């Protein structure tokens, strides 16, 4: 029997995090149907609210307090403002934690312990709680007390050493990835971890403490480049857009623009040669296997560039598509949202915002047959749900007003 509430509709998440990595995990859980209560600082809120321009416009065309950065990672949540450095605020967080299945936090190691909101304190009142701490360097080690941002971890974790054009080439030098990939991957690992702990709790009845470090995540996601080094002893180098282990995979220029060529096996290379009218290349011992193509890519790339440069982009892409060789144009971000496949998958949606406008949202890529996901609410305005959440905890209007007057909420 189908349900339209999402597979995590029974789960409550207390999100004490801000910026991107842990909030990204919270958004994933919200997309899956969980109730996610986002705790923010009164008057200021999540740092990313101010990380603009651009900002969402209101119905009159004026900037709101919601930057695009904030809007990218907080849909489906409820926002409540609480001052954590007050006893009253700490009490409210404890009350929320008593009802929660999962707590997400990304304060510097030891910060929440001062407030009695650390894992040991909250799991004492709720032993079933899954408490996940997300930091730059983790809860142990010489850097545990240091803050970190995505850019720093891309550099420290080796990603920038293998990203960018080769030294000596135009534009050569280390580059960061164009999106905050370490934050995003950390959010993904965080979501996987808390869901694994939730599955285990269903068997044991006991919660868990989870320690996620951005640097650990980046080291883990060096993936094939890490293993290239570990099995060969050779330091991976920046190689532009060329793949270090599979060839030909690179950007090639046609007579009217660039294309991406992604040959993944010997069969696809054979088909590429047929389309180019160079069937003999597939029999050439320098190119007949992937290992030899990698060793001789300098020669092969020159031959391919000459052939591609003599052809039009649209014609070549169509010919390669027909035989199953991956090849395509390099889309801009606007191009992406005009792509027929992206449109067919419903990856762009618009949801109603409290200020009266429709806010665009990039849809979750997750698709479920038995528990289809519903469109979640727009990212909340600061403190939008404070009164509602407090009322659900049993606070009456007079008590809420007193908390607001005292600067607690």
Checking if the pLDDT of 3 tops 80, the result is: no
Task: Give the DSSP letter of residue 86.
Answer: S
| Same domain flag for 92 and 181 | yes
Identify whether 72 is part of a domain.
Answer: yes
Confidence category of residue 162, pLDDT binned at 50, 70, 90: very high
169 pLDDT higher than 90: no
Question: Considering only 3-12, 291-300, 368-377, which range has the smallest mean pLDDT?
Answer: 3-12
Are 168 and 283 found together in one domain? no
Domain range enclosing 59: 12-220+342-405
**Burial (Cβ within 10 Å: 0-12, 13-18, ≥19) of residue 332:** exposed
Asked whether residue 243 is domain-assigned, the answer is no
pLDDT band at 388 (very low <50, low <70, confident <90, very high): very high
Residue 269's CATH number: 3.30.1540.10
Q: Are residues 30 and 143 in the same domain?
A: yes
pLDDT of residue 361: 97
Mean pLDDT of 97-105: 98
Instruction: Let me know whether 401 and 321 are in one domain.
Output: no
- Please tell me whether residues 258 and 123 are part of one structural domain: no
What are the CA-CA distances from residue 302 to residues 67, 299, 308, 320 (Å)?
45, 5, 10, 19
- Looking at the structure, do residues 107 and 68 belong to the same domain, yes or no? yes
| Structural domain includes residue 308 | yes
- Determine contact, residues 331/343, Cβ cutoff 8 Å: no
**Is residue 230 domain-resident?**
no
Given a cut of 60, whether residue 2 has pLDDT beyond it is: no
Q: What is residue 293's predicted lDDT score, i.e. its pLDDT?
A: 97
Inter-residue long-range contacts of 245-248, CB under 8 Å, 24+ positions, other chains counted: 245/294, 246/290, 246/294, 247/290, 247/293, 247/294, 247/297, 247/300, 248/272, 248/293, 248/297, 248/300, 248/301, 248/304
Q: Are both 16 and 95 inside the same structural domain? A: yes
pLDDT in tens, 188-205: 999 999 999 999 999 999
Q: Last residue of a domain, which of 330, 364, 389?
A: 330
99, 141: one domain: yes
Model confidence at 1, pLDDT cuts 50, 70, 90, reads: very low
Report residue 210: phi and psi, to 5°. Answer: -125, 135
DSSP symbol at 51: S
Asked if residue 266 belongs to a domain, the reply is yes
Band the pLDDT of 178: cuts 50, 70, 90.
very high
Give me the chain's average pLDDT, please. Answer: 96
- Please list the active-site residues: 183
Tell me which of 297, 330, 363 is where a domain ends: 330
Say if pTM beats, i.e. exceeds, 0.85.
yes
Clarify whether residues 216 and 280 are in a common domain: no
Could you report the per-residue pLDDT of 108-159, keeping only the tens digit for each? 999 999 999 999 999 999 999 999 999 999 999 999 999 999 999 999 999 9
Tell whether 99 and 173 lie within a shared domain: yes
Q: In the prediction, which pLDDT does 320 show?
A: 97
Pairing status of strand 12-15 against strand 102-105: parallel
In this structure, the answer to whether residues 309 and 399 fall within a common structural domain is no
Given 330, 358, 382, which residue is the final one in a domain? Answer: 330
Predicted pLDDT of residue 4: 53
pLDDT value of residue 342: 97
Judgement on whether residues 83 and 198 belong to the same structural domain of the protein: yes
Confidence of residue 5 (pLDDT cuts 50, 70, 90): confident
Residue 227 within any structural domain of the chain? no
Per-residue pLDDT at 294 exceeds 80: yes
Number of domains in the chain: 2
What is the CATH classification number for the domain harbouring 393? 3.40.50.10540
pLDDT digits (tens, 9 = 90+) for 253-284: 999 999 999 999 999 999 999 999 999 999 99
Q: What is the pLDDT of residues 336-372, one digit of tens each?
A: 999 999 999 999 999 999 989 999 999 999 999 999 9
Residue 3 lies in a domain: no
Question: Would residue 160 count as lying in a domain?
Answer: yes
């Amino acid at each position: 029997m189908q349900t339209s509430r999402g597979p995590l509709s029974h789960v409550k998440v207390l999100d004490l995090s801000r910026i991107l990595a842990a909030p990204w995990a919270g958004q994933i859980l919200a997309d899956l149907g969980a109730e996610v209560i986002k705790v923010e600082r009164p008057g200021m809120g999540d740092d990313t609210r101010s990380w603009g321009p651009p900002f969402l416009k209101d119905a009159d065309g004026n900037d709101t307090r919601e930057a695009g950065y904030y809007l990218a990672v907080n849909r489906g949540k409820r926002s409540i403002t609480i001052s954590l450095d007050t006893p009253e605020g700490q009490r409210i967080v404890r009350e929320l934690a008593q009802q929660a299945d999962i707590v997400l936090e990304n304060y510097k190691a030891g910060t929440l312990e001062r407030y009695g909101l650390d894992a040991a304190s909250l799991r004492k009142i709720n032993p079933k709680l899954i408490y996940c701490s997300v930091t730059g360097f983790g809860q142990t080690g010489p850097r545990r007390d240091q803050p970190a941002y995505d850019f720093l971890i891309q550099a420290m974790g080796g990603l920038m050493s293998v990203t960018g054009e080769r030294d000596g080439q135009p534009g050569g030098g280390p580059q960061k990835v164009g999106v905050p990939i370490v934050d995003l991957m950390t959010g993904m690992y965080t979501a996987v971890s808390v869901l694994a702990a939730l599955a285990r709790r269903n068997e044991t009845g006991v919660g868990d403490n989870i320690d996620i470090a951005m640097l650990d995540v980046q080291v883990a996601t060096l993936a094939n480049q890490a293993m290239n080094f570990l099995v060969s002893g050779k330091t991976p180098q920046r190689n532009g857009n060329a793949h270090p282990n599979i060839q030909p995979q690179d950007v090639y220029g046609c007579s009217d623009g660039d294309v991406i060529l992604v040959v993944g096996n010997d069969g696809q290379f054979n088909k590429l040669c047929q389309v180019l009218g160079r069937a003999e290349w597939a029999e050439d011992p320098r190119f007949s296997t992937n290992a030899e193509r990698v060793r001789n890519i300098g020669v092969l790339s020159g031959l391919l560039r000459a052939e591609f440069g003599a052809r039009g982009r649209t014609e070549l892409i169509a010919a390669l598509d027909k035989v199953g060789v991956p090849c395509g144009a390099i889309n801009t971000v606007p191009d992406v949202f005009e792509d027929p496949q992206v449109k067919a998958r419903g990856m762009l949606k618009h949801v109603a915002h409290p200020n009266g406008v429709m806010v665009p949202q990039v849809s979750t890529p997750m698709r479920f047959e038995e528990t289809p996901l519903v469109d979640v609410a727009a990212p909340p305005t600061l403190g939008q749900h404070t009164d509602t959440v407090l009322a659900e905890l049993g606070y009456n209007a007079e008590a809420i007003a007193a908390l607001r007057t005292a600067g607690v909420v």
